[in-house]
Chains A and B, each alone.
Chain A
């Protein structure tokens, strides 16, 4: 009995001791997640719209991009950009490499989320917009996209949470974000369990905060529905 109590006290002592030391890593995790989500959204929107244009070759290129990104592990994509591209003469620092890889990765998934919600908008909406004399692009921008965006919020939330967790893979290209810090602290102290526990709590705090923000956004966007 005493052993359990003593072990628990030791455990939480370690957690309290190491929690502040994680802050720089957590900040990097937040930065990776933030930039990869923002850039991923921009890439996703552009790709989704390009896929809906009448130019078959553009659609083909976008399909190739989505197929490659979705069909290979993110880990491999990170290695390719950070370790592979230099052999082609393209040197990119580790942080921008991570952002590029994560953004391209998220962009492919987000583009499919956007495409799905754009195609789910009743065709009559486009017809009504076009019959007022709007161009295709005006109808897309003013009528279809605002409605499609609202519909994609739940799926986007999912993807954002995946993006937060996927940012941990950036540790393999020397970025000392939360997971790499955990590994280093663990190796230094041999006290692995409380340290990984702390890292897990930080991830949970980030994803729960994100979920909260998204549900507020969703509620705000819902006002004009029955």
Chain B
């Protein structure tokens, strides 16, 4: 069953057409990695899926429901988002950050939300940091909290926008580890990443985006070992020195 269906998506920033007709279907439990050079439109595509950017043309269905501006708040509850720069709420403790969505949006009672948040913090291995403020945590720990925060809404899909790009190299592993666990649980994930090793290992499908269009897609083996598109070959040549 398809969890996300995107039809003929176009997005303009002023006169610049950043997305030039994207068609994409993501199945339930599928892990899709979006790769491409900077400015290719991969982050914009991700942000259009939960309306952080408003699309200009095309249709997006999530879990069979057409995404419109009107019921976007309800749809966003089904779509978790993890940002490059974490965007944790600095005035709340780690635990409060994770409880915030369920309490404010789902009106879950405090006790239940706390139990849920504690379980999620345990999952990302940060139970001992529950009462710290984000500023006291390393980047890797902050990003794991951000993942727990998005999981707290029990989303059907999780979008990752370059989740490890702002991290020190030695902290990348712990975040990718958590994402790997999520993939194994059968969660539907769309990941914009520059971590080719990770994409190779975790993705069911890799999509190469070039100048706002899907230039090539396939299994990690197809994309990394037998790239056909010349742009993709150049791109891989540049990053896999």
Among B50, B80, B91, B105, contact of A134 (Cβ-Cβ < 8 Å): B105
Which of B81, B85, B89, B149 is the most central at the interface, judged by chain A CB atoms within 10 Å of its CB? B89
* Bound CA span A88–B179, Å: 69
Q: How many residues of A contact B (CB 8 A)?
A: 21
Interface size for chain B: under 10, 10 to 19, 20 to 34, or 35 or more residues? 20 to 34
Contact A143 B89 (CB under 8 A): yes
Given known pairs A138-B104, A138-B105, A142-B104, the reply for A132 and B153 (CB within 8 Å) is yes
* Bound CA span A150–B133, Å: 16
Query: B85 contacts which chain A residues (CB < 8 A)?
Result: 124
- Assess whether B2 is interfacial by the CB under 8 Å rule: no
- Assess whether A120 is interfacial by the CB under 8 Å rule: no
Contact A128 B91 (CB under 8 A): no
Closest residue of chain B to A128 (Cβ to Cβ) is B87
Among A124, A125, A134, contact of B104 (Cβ-Cβ < 8 Å): A134
Query: A150 contacts which chain B residues (CB < 8 A)?
Result: 91
Among B74, B87, B133, contact of A133 (Cβ-Cβ < 8 Å): B74
Closest residue of chain A to B103 (Cβ to Cβ) is A142
Which of A133, A135, A147, A226 is the most central at the interface, judged by chain B CB atoms within 10 Å of its CB? A133
Query: B100 contacts which chain A residues (CB < 8 A)?
Result: 132, 142
- Assess whether B76 is interfacial by the CB under 8 Å rule: yes
| B-binding residues in A (CB < 8 A) | 122, 124-125, 127-135, 138, 142-143, 146-147, 150, 224-226
- Can you add 10 more A-B contacts, CB < 8 Å, to A132-B101, A138-B104? A127-B83, A128-B88, A129-B89, A131-B76, A132-B77, A132-B100, A142-B104, A143-B89, A224-B90, A226-B136
A-B contact pairs, 30 of them (CB 8 A): A122-B87, A124-B83, A124-B85, A125-B89, A127-B87, A128-B81, A130-B52, A130-B76, A131-B52, A131-B79, A131-B81, A132-B76, A132-B153, A133-B74, A133-B101, A133-B105, A134-B101, A138-B105, A142-B100, A142-B104, A143-B89, A147-B90, A150-B91, A224-B93, A224-B135, A225-B90, A225-B133, A225-B135, A226-B135, A226-B136
